Structure 1
């Protein structure tokens, strides 16, 4: 009987439960994917750089777990608020509080388990896609990989089961302790919206000061370290709360005093709706703004690591391709690259010495990178004469030599001295192309051939950093894990914040039905009613979205220690976020409209 009543209750609020369910499914799917990739034996058995991805996915799992915990309890609080009247009616009809608590427990737990199972199934497909994209991007082969991971499934089910057990017990305990009249009249209690202007002004100033203080702390985070993180977090959260609790209310009150705005169409009704609800919406809007910052920040930083890969590879060496013992290489393959720079240096070597021609370096100086204090890179050129008696300058040649050559004593000699050395002539070829990334595959092929021709080069999959391809592959492996983690964390946070905001808006729709029906009966056109809904919900979406974007713009300064330009191509993550956020807004408007407006036949 209790199960039947629980299912009936779920059916009566099916749309609300679907909103909650979608967020839970996405959270469980991404959690399972992180766990599955983190416990991937193929990654663990690969070289040390590839296996570092495992740690990155574990780190993503921890972050996702914390946000999911907050989301589940917050979303459940909305759900219980909407069902309180139903539970009160059951008690009036004679149901004991113990039975009501059991029914609440069954509802919460069944939905949670069902969402976890569905999320794990979605996670199977997500794991396959991510594995394919990751292995393709890293150009590595993973043998016998299966998205079905028993350990990951067990961890996912246990984690979410514990969360929903706690949530179910909490919900049941809270509802069971409330008096019947409180449950019946909870949603009918009017909010006190009249507030003094002096209080609004004080809160607005305090909110702005707290936000500025938080942004300054983020800018100085490398100095303040943990203190800066805690301080910035506290001040920004409080500042966000006061902004929504005062600034928006003040703006709405000012707009209502402008006759040209307030008395146009249904603007006065819309402004009154927002003013009446804003105090109730303060907490949810503040939380959504912080989740927007987390979602957009994760997307931006993830793509920022992706943009950093070619930059760091370019900083390692100015040459796109280094060919040691170039006489063994088919030069037609090099010519096919259409190189902008193609220089050959002859050398001879014995067991302890290596000899270069001074005149060749005088004619075409060798390039090397010089790092400044501000982490910028400057190209420095050295002639043969400059390197003859300068060991530091000789590092320009050392950086492109084979590992077994770097321990030998270097000599830069004249043509006559070079000819007198009784050793065979070999060649060192240095190549630069117009666009390294566009010609990455043929360069990789030549670099691989260079490794085969020179066995002393490290062949464990990492290679020598004298080769730009090797540096690019290494950074690609290290940063790709952060890229994927950032993207999917951003997606999970976006799903949670949007479903929370949808949940809150739709929970108030049932009390708005009578207002919109009354407006419709006195002659208000449906087009104006729908316009009012779009504007009201638009403000509720735009407020936290805009403030969350501001948080991200200032928060990116924290990552200047890891990213050379965290603001590069900012339109890409912002565009992705705006598109997904817009989709949730459209869905919310559609659902709310169908709930509050009587459809004309």
Structure 2
């Protein structure tokens, strides 16, 4: 009987539950996808290009789990508030609080299990699509890759089941502690709160100062390190709430007193609606703003990381480095459109590698420049052998070590004259450096030549950020492409959550607004004006978090430019902002349509 009643309750509030359902499905799907890409060790081990995937996607899973936990608790509180009056009526008819607690437990768990099942199905589809795109982007193989991965499924199911059980128990506790009269009056509108100018001004000042401190802390993240993140986290959260609790309330009051604006159309009615609800909306708008900033920031930085692959790759001076190349390797290398090619001879001792200084006078080699403040990548300069004695030996020794095979790269480098080099014992080996005219145009050929050299010298795939552009490309492509995918899908998940929270709050008051809009309709107000008033009212509630969220993101990007993670973080911002704006606008249009269907006469 309780199960049947719970299904009836879900059916009666199907549209409200559908909003929650969509956000939970997206969160479960993306969580499963991250876990599959992060925990499939056989796939990662067979594809060394994906060696950084576990760190990237496990980090994404943890961040998504934290936000999902907050979202589920917040969304369930909305749904519980919508059903409080129904539960109060049940208690008036003689239902026991224990039975009602079981009823709400079943309802919450049923929604959770249904969204979890759908989320896993969607997650398998997403994993198939994203996995193939990631493999293609990272130039890896699909060995041992499977969209259905048991351990990831177990982790996803256990995590979300625990969340839903916790949410159900909390709903039970709230219901049992709420008096029957309070349940019956749960749909009553809050009384209008009088605005106190002195309190409002102090909150405006304190809120703006808190935001300013947070923005400065993000700009100085290179100096403050983890302390800067902690300061920004606290001050921006506090400042965002105070801004909504004071500044926007004050602006609404000022607009209402502006006769020319307020008397135009139904503006006075819309301002009254917003002013009447703004105190009840402040916390929710602050939460939505933070989620908005996280969502837009995740998409923007994800796309920004991917665009920097070329920047970090170009910092390496050589495209290919060959060691004692065979005839077949030399033949393969001739297919590269070579801009510059040098050959160096060296001998390997027990603990020392010998180079002839004279050959560097004829063919200068790239040596690292001293590291400078605010430098993001290693810089190199062509250096002759006679100049090396005048430089820091650590720089040219490290530069030459990067050219050697891994088994020789830890040995001491010693420069000698040609006569001494000829008398030094050991087999003379050849080192060939190649610079292509266009690395990315020649990438397939460079990859083949590099792999031939690695197999010939029995060297595993390298990720060292050394003097080879191909090694740098492999490492940065694996790291930054992973961040691109993680950022985009985290952004989509956060967007679904923030839109759900906003839709919950707006639609929860639609039933009580029906009378007001029907009265306006009866006195002859045109439907076009009524629809316009609804669009403006909901538009303000969507616009305010959007504007503040964009400001948070623009200042937050300073963290990445200051630390050098995104040297050009503000370049081509229009693309991620446009993508996010389109998705956000779709949620706005959907909310307006649902609200109009509830309050307007059909």
For normalisation by structure 2, the TM-score amounts to 0.89
User: Does residue 434 of structure 2 align to residue 430 of structure 1?
Assistant: yes
CA 1:54/1:392 → structure 2, altered by over 3 Å: closer, same or farther? closer
Contact residue 46 and residue 143 of structure 2 kept, 8 A:
no
* 1:512-562 residue CA offsets vs partner (Å, 9 max, x unmatched): 111111112212211111111111111111111111121122222333325
Distance across 2 between alignment mates of 1:498 and 1:21? 12
Instruction: Measure the CA separation in 2 of the matches of 1:553 and 1:95.
Output: 54
Superposed, 1:344-363 pairs within 5 Å as 344-345=342-343, 347=345, 358=358, 362=361
Partner Cα distance (2:38, 2:355) in 1: 49
8 A contact 2:342–2:363 mirrored in 1? no
- String of CA shifts for 1:416-458, please: whole Å, max 9, x gaps: x99xx99989572421323x334322221222233345x16x2
* CA distance in structure 2 between the partners assigned to 1:313 and 1:31 by the alignment: 31
Give unpaired runs (5+ residues) of structure 1: none
Q: Is the 8 A contact 1:387 1:393 kept in 2?
A: no
Task: Evaluate the alpha carbon distance shift between residue 120 and residue 425 of structure 1 in structure 2; reply closer, same or farther with a 3 A threshold.
Answer: closer
Counterpart of 2:233 in structure 1 is: 233
Q: Deviations over 1:555-577 (max 9, x none)?
A: 22333325042334333332222
Q: Does 1:595 align with 2:598?
A: yes
1:374 CA displacement: 2.2
> Which whole-Å CA distance do the structure 2 matches of 1:218 and 1:355 have between them?
47
Matched-pair contact (CA < 8 Å) for 1:353–1:411: no
* Alpha-carbon displacement from aligned partner over 1:280-320 (angstroms, at most 9, x marks no partner): 110100000111122122223323332333323322x2222
Could you tell me whether the CA contact under 8 Å between 2:321 and 2:434 is conserved in 1? Answer: yes
Where does residue 343 of structure 1 map in the other structure? 341
- The alpha carbon displacement at 1:72 in A equals 0.8
Q: Secondary structure at the match of 2:18?
A: helix
Alignment of 1:253-402 (within 5 A): 253-315=253-315, 317-325=316-324, 328=327, 337-339=336-338, 341-345=339-343, 347=345, 358=358, 362=361, 365-370=364-369, 371-376=371-376, 377-387=378-388, 391=393, 394-395=396-397, 396-402=399-405
**How far apart in 2 are the matches of 1:462 and 1:471?**
7
Q: Match for residue 197 of structure 2?
A: 197
Compare 284-293 and 161-170 and name the one that shifted more.
161-170
How well do the aligned residues superpose, as a CA RMSD in angstroms? 3.1
2:180 matched residue in structure 1: 180
| Structure 2 unaligned regions, length at least 5 | none
- Any idea what the Cα deviations from partners look like across 1:378-409, whole Å, max 9, x if unmatched? 44222344347865675455543445676564
Name the SS of the counterpart of 1:344 in structure 2: strand
Q: 1:439 to 1:503 in 2, by over 3 A?
A: farther
Match in the other structure for 2:7: 7
Q: 1:350 to 1:587 in 2, by over 3 A?
A: closer
1:115: Cα distance to partner? Answer: 0.9
Change (3 A) 1:354 1:101: closer
Count of paired positions = 592
Write out per-residue CA displacement over residues 252-306 of structure 1, whole angstroms, 9 at most, x where no aligned residue: 1111222221111111111111111111110100000111122122223323332
Q: Comparing 498-507 with 330-339, which one deviates more in the overlay? A: 330-339
Q: TM-score, normalised by structure 1?
A: 0.89
Equivalence for 2:138: 138
Query: In 2, are the aligned partners of 1:318 and 1:368 still within 8 Å (CA)?
Result: no
Q: Which residue of 2 aligns with 1:478?
A: 479
C-alpha contact 1:43 1:54 (8 A) present in aligned 2: no
Aligned-pair CA distance for 1:325: 4.6
Match of 1:563 in 2: 565
| In structure 1, distance between residues paired with 2:502 and 2:12 | 20
Cα 1:422–1:33 change in 2 (3 A) is closer
- The 1:189–1:392 alpha-carbon spacing in structure 2 relative to 1, beyond 3 Å, is closer
SS at 1:45 equivalent: helix
Q: CA deviation at 1:337?
A: 4.5
Give per-residue Cα distances to partners, 1:23-61, cap 9 Å, x unaligned.
Answer: 111111112222222220324534777444223322222
Distance 2:390 2:96 in 1: 95
Looking at structure 2, the residues matched to 69 and 564 of structure 1 have their Cα atoms a distance apart, in angstroms, of 30
Alignment partner of 2:585 out of 577, 582, 585: 582
Equivalents in 1 of 2:427, 2:150: separation in Å?
Answer: 62
Q: Judging changes above 3 Å, is the alpha-carbon distance between structure 1 residues 249 and 389 closer, same or farther for their aligned structure 2 residues?
A: closer
Cα 1:429–1:48 shift into 2, 3 Å = closer
Aligned residue for 1:437, secondary structure, equals coil
Query: 8 Å contact 2:531–2:596 — kept in the other structure?
Result: yes
Alpha-carbon deviation of 1:463?
A: 7.2
| 2-structure distance, mates of 1:594, 1:541 | 19
What is the CA–CA distance in structure 2 between the aligned matches of 1:199 and 1:405, rounded to whole Å? 70
CA distance in 2, matches of 1:213, 1:353: 54
1:466 is displaced (CA, Å) by 3.1
SS of aligned partner of 2:557: helix
Q: Does the 8 Å CA contact 2:43/2:144 hold for their aligned counterparts?
A: no
2:374–2:564 contact (8 Å) kept in structure 1: no
Matches within 5 A, 1:92-171: 92-171=92-171
Partner in structure 1 of residue 24 of structure 2: 24
Give the secondary-structure state (helix, strand or coil) at the position aligned to 1:58.
Answer: helix
Which whole-Å CA distance do the structure 2 matches of 1:21 and 1:498 have between them?
12
CA contact (8 A) 2:47 2:140 kept: no
In 2, Cα distance between the equivalents of 1:250 and 1:429?
67
Q: Which moved more, 1:239-248 or 1:474-483?
A: 474-483
Corresponding residue SS for 1:187: coil
CA separation of 1:350 and 1:234: change in aligned 2, threshold 3 A? closer
2:308 match: secondary structure: helix
Q: Give secondary structure in 2 for the equivalent of 1:518.
A: helix
For residues 211 and 45 of structure 2, the distance between their equivalents in structure 1, rounded to whole angstroms, comes to 46
Cα distance, 1:219 vs structure 2: 2.6
CA distance in structure 2 between the aligned counterparts of 1:397 and 1:512, rounded to whole angstroms = 75
